[in-house]
């Protein structure tokens, strides 16, 4: 099992394929690279660069998306993290699923995805289901980096599966982040009710 230091260079910057040693530069390259990949995936109707067509019906598609977004930068892209993880935002500490429970989390998300595929294309029903799913996947937080971006693409695929697209305003983006931080499916569902178009 890895420890956090295994992901880092001596100065604390994430190890990467590009040999970048400055944290700010790595962050900028990572952001730009993943943004280009996200645009590519959207423009190609959710077909990944390797030709795989995303369906939103299989939890392992999260790995495929993460690899597509960050695979040019990190060796571990597309692989679940091997260390436990928590994050502090606005003074709130969030403890994500421990690695030893990943099998349970994956099984539960897959069950929800299977149920989601059978739902009618009703905006209220889809928004409620997405509120639950997104909150659950947020808590899974399976990757060392890129969880939010990976989940955004996957959520777009889920909406697309039901004939919707997501239309985020800045206000709704802020509401989405609040619902994520509070780990609150009802708040998240309310966001989706407004952004599903």
Report pLDDT for 182. 83
Distances (CA, A) of 129 to 61, 80, 167: 18, 24, 17
Domain annotation covers residue 31: yes
Taking residues 80-97, what's their average pLDDT? 81
Q: Mean pLDDT for the chain? A: 93
Helix (H) or strand (E) holding 92: strand 92-95
Taking residues 115-127, what's their average pLDDT? 98
CA distance 125 to 88: 32
CA distance 92 to 96: 13
Please report, to the nearest 10 degrees, the dihedral formed by the alpha carbons of residues 76, 79, 83, 87 taken in order: 90
pLDDT tens column, 28-61 = 999 999 999 999 999 999 999 999 999 999 999 9
Share of the chain above pLDDT 90, in %: 82
DSSP type of residue 8: B
CA angle 171, 174, 178 (to 5 degrees): 135
CA distance 46 to 21: 33
78 and 147 in contact (C-beta within 8 Å)?
A: no
The domain that holds 139 is classified in CATH as: 1.10.3290.10
- Domain range for 138 is 9-80+99-195
Q: What's the structural domain count of the chain?
A: 1
* Residue 151 pLDDT level (bands cut at 50, 70, 90): very high
Domain annotation covers residue 65: yes
Taking residues 152-173, what's their average pLDDT? 94
Say whether pTM exceeds 0.75: yes
Class of residue 129 by CB neighbours under 10 A (exposed 0-12, middle 13-18, buried 19+): buried
37 against 168, higher pLDDT:
37
Domain annotation covers residue 85: no
């Amino acid at each position: 099992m890895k420890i956090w230091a295994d992901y880092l260079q001596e100065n604390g910057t994430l190890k990467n394929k590009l040999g970048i040693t400055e944290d700010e530069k790595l962050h900028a390259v990572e952001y730009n690279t993943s943004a280009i990949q996200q645009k590519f995936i959207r423009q190609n109707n959710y077909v990944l660069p390797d030709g795989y067509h995303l369906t939103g019906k299989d939890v392992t598609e999260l790995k495929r998306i993460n690899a597509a977004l960050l695979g040019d930068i990190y060796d571990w892209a597309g692989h679940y993290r091997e260390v436990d993880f928590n994050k502090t935002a606005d003074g709130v500490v969030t403890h994500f699923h421990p690695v030893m429970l990943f099998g349970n989390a994956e099984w539960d998300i897959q069950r929800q995805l299977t149920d989601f595929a059978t739902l009618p294309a009703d905006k209220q029903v889809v928004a409620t289901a997405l509120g639950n799913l997104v909150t659950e996947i947020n808590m899974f937080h399976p990757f060392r980096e890129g969880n939010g971006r990976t989940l955004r693409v996957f959520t777009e695929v889920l909406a697309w599966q039901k004939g919707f697209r997501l239309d985020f305003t800045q206000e709704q983006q802020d509401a989405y982040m609040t619902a994520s931080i509070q780990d609150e499916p009802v708040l998240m569902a309310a966001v989706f009710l407004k952004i599903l178009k």
